[in-house]
A and B are shown apart, each in its own frame.
Chain A
Amino acid sequence: MKLAFYPGCLVLQRMPEYEATTRAVLRELGIELEIVQQAACCGSPVVESFAADWVYLAAYNLALVERMEHGTVVTVCGGCTNTLTRGARALQDPGVRAEANRRLEPLGLSVTGQVVVKHLVQLLAEREEDLRARIVRPLSIRVALTNPCQAFRPGDVMGFDDPMEPHSLRRLVELTGAEVIEYGGENECCGATLYLAAPGLALAAGRRKLEATQEADLLLHSCGNCQLLLRRFQRLIVRDEKHLRKEVLFLPQLIGLALGLPAEELGLREGAWN
């Protein structure tokens, strides 16, 4: 099966390991991803903050996906999932759709809004039994989760899992044999988008997670924004408080290990998490 893949600009430009490991895990399940060429930024949360007609940027990305004729586009960031799904919903309005097509026409594109947008967590959750059967290397580690908040809310539009207390990510991690520790912040935003307006507060939000998850071996997430704040900016939070240091993994890295994929292929050191 082939599906379209929309990495979003953060993952496209800064986190090739997230795309590569997503592809590696899905390949095990018989799913090939075809990347959306010429895709624009999803816009979250920037474009909507300036442009009341943000939906037409989403329409552009959805039009590119529709042209590929795979029916479903896979996303790996909460923000992209949210923006594209809300865009597709807005395009159900005939007036919005007509205006979108007027603006897309000079680019040689058209849009119906009929594409299904699925975050990686949802795609994998729908294949839980298939995944379970393929676990060859159960992991005995303690994992703390951070849910990709925008992938679940608003619940009436995203239509997947419990919007305030989602359980799909936890179930996927438990499939690997890992123990999921509860620390109370699983459903709190990592704070990455706050960084654009108030870096100090963004780091404080990340610090809450690092402080609360000290008994976990690693923090696991499924979003480019979470990676940015919890991993890339971690040194800005930790500074000389070394006890706060924490390994941070993308969901497909952990699942890939349990599927028996080589650590090196997953961007991890050999023998990691044995």
Chain B
Amino acid sequence: MELKHPEACTQCGTCVTVCPVEMVGGHAIVTFLAEPDAADYSVWLCTSCWRCQEACPAGVDIYGLMMEQRRREPAPAGYQAAFEHALACGLALQVSQEALDQVRAAWGLESVELPPPNFARNLLRDSR
């Protein structure tokens, strides 16, 4: 485990009490902050709701730490596929212009141009 335990954390455990993942029996990185010896957590379980960070009395950048750790770890297939779609077509969910036009026309919504192909690769150069 490379993640540095942030010195500001006082081990008060507030993060765990507000985490929606904990409430359904999952253990995201907040468990690590509250109990550094626990081994059954995963940064990929974080829902990005920001409650732990907002509630943290010490102001630890928990979200930032979790995202950093994600970038060091293998990703679940669903995340990996969504990221590759975003790189290839700019959207996490792939769609054709024709399908999009159909969905929107059914609701009387104007046509929308999709982003140019592969443009995202020039914007995101620091990804793995």
The chain B residue with its CB closest to the CB of A43 is B86
Contact B86 A40 (CB under 8 A): yes
Tell me if B4 is interfacial: C-beta within 8 Å of chain A: no
Residues of A within 8 A of B108 (CB): 20
Contact A155 B54 (CB under 8 A): yes
Contact A150 B48 (CB under 8 A): yes
Tell me if B106 is interfacial: C-beta within 8 Å of chain A: yes
In chain B, positions 89-128 with a C-beta closer than 8 Å to chain A are 90-93, 95, 99-100, 103-104, 106-110, 112-116, 119-120, 122-128
| Interface bin, chain B | 35 or more
The count of residues in chain A whose C-beta lies closer than 8 Å to any C-beta of chain B is 59
Contact B107 A20 (CB under 8 A): yes
Contact A53 B127 (CB under 8 A): yes
**Cβ-defined partner of A56 (8 Å) among B42, B86, B104, B123:** B123
Interface pick from A31-39, A123-131, A241-249, A253-261: A31-39
**Given A191-B24, A194-B45, also A103-B51 (CB < 8 A):** no
Residues of A within 8 A of B71 (CB): 49-52
Contact B82 A196 (CB under 8 A): yes
Residues of B within 8 A of A210 (CB): none
Q: Residues 24-46 of chain A: 1 if any B CB is under 8 Å from the residue's CB, otherwise 0?
A: 00000000000101111101111
Q: Residues 190-212 of chain A: 1 if any B CB is under 8 Å from the residue's CB, otherwise 0?
A: 01111111100100110010000
**Given A49-B79, A52-B71, also A189-B123 (CB < 8 A):** no
**Cβ-defined partner of B112 (8 Å) among A37, A149, A193:** A37
Alpha-carbon separation in the docked complex, A52 to B24 (Å):
29
**Given A37-B112, A197-B79, also A208-B24 (CB < 8 A):** yes
Alpha-carbon separation in the docked complex, A54 to B67 (Å):
11
Residues of A within 8 A of B70 (CB): 49-50
Interface, chain B (partner A; CB < 8 A): 18, 20-21, 23-26, 42, 44-51, 53-55, 63, 67-68, 70-71, 75-76, 78-79, 82-83, 86, 90-93, 95, 99-100, 103-104, 106-110, 112-116, 119-120, 122-128
